[in-house]
Each structure stands twice: as structure tokens, then as C-alpha cells.
Amino acid sequence: MIELFVNFVLFTMLVLTALAIVRIDRLFAVVMLSGVFSLLSALLFVTLDAVDVAFTEAAVGAGISTVLMLSTIALTKPVQKKPRHNALVPLIVVGVTGATLIYGTLDMPAFGAKDTPAQNHVAALYLERTPTDIDVPNAVTGILASYRGFDTLGETGVVFTAGIGVLLLLSGLARRREEEGEEQ
């Protein structure tokens, strides 16, 4: 019961954050709320027992993306320009896309159902073979490090590449500011 309440609160906060992002004109506030949205998403992934996805979302979505967007704002104006066109067509595209995605989920099994393919085929095999194949007492660690090693390596590579990109961007901004300070 408490887990359902926590999930409901997190989903509600996600929706409210998304609505606030759409309504705000100040780009700094949009970037900060985008970071909050990513952290809320990471918390939701934790409650859904997807800790590896939560880690990647927190690192890339909340951390690195926020730094990149803040760096971009440093190079642009802080307020969004008012659009010159009508927003009806993008709204229709988003509505149709959302309706299609919802339609695509209608025949999915219920969340956490015992008869889903993932529960019937590989889960029992992983839990049974992890202690003998890998000799790691924690099944989740064994699955992420061995059976899904390439996937985990890919996620680590994404986080590493994004981090290097941020460091390069920040070093370029520091050089630019130093050059501007020398010119004055």
C-alpha cells in the first residue's frame, strides 16, 4: 500500500513538473526543473527496482544534461523568445503520438504479473545459475556484471562519454572567460 502511494506521489510530481516546464519562459528555471524531472524519474525507477536505470538517469539526465544546458544558456539569452507560429500542429502531433503509445500498451501484461515472459523464461534460470556460474552472492550484481555485461558496459560508456563532454565544454568556457578578461 505504501509503495502504491509513493509511486502515485512520484507520478503526480512528474506531471506537475512537466506542466511547470511547459509554462515557464525563463530558461534557467526550465533547466533546473528538467533536472528535478530527471531526479524524480530516477526515484521512480528505484521504486520499480530498476536501480541501474535509475543510476544512469540520475547521472546523465539530472547531472550531465543539466550542466550542458546551463553551459548553453551561458552562451545564449536567458529568456525564451515568443514563438511566431501557432502551436496547434505540434500539439496535435504530441496528442497523436501519446494516444498511439497508450494504445500500444493496452495488451501488455499487468505490472508485476507472475505470468509475464520475463518471469517465466529467464528470471528463474538467472536466479538458479548465478551462484554457480559467477560465484556472486547478489543475483542482481551477478546479472548486471556478467549476463548483461555488455549492456552495463554500454551504460557506463554513455556516462563516461557525457562526463568527458561536459569537462571539455567547461574547460572551453573557462578559456573563453579568461580571454574575455584579458581583452578588457
The domains found in the chain, sorted by start residue, are 2-108+148-183 (1.20.120.1200)
Report the pLDDT value the prediction gives residue 42, as an integer from 0 to 100.
92
Report the pLDDT value the prediction gives residue 173, as an integer from 0 to 100.
65
Measured between alpha carbons, how far is 142 from 29 in angstroms, rounded to an integer?
A: 41
List the one residue out of 128, 119, 24 whose CA is nearest residue 78. Answer: 24
Measured between alpha carbons, how far is 171 from 176 in angstroms, rounded to an integer?
A: 9
Report the pLDDT value the prediction gives residue 124, as an integer from 0 to 100.
76
Strand partners, 79: 26
Q: What is the pLDDT of residues 10-25, one digit of tens each?
A: 999 999 999 999 888 8
Strands (E), the chain: none
Query: What rounded mean pLDDT belongs to the chain?
Result: 82
Residue 66 predicted with pLDDT over 90: no
More confident residue, 181 or 28: 28
Q: What is the pLDDT of residues 119-141, one digit of tens each?
A: 777 777 888 888 888 887 777 77
List the one residue out of 37, 32, 18, 24 whose CA is nearest residue 67. Answer: 32
Q: Return the ∠ at Cα 18 (arms to 12 and 21), rounded to 5°.
A: 140
Confidence of residue 184 (pLDDT cuts 50, 70, 90): low
pTM of the model: 0.61
Report the pLDDT value the prediction gives residue 41, as an integer from 0 to 100.
93
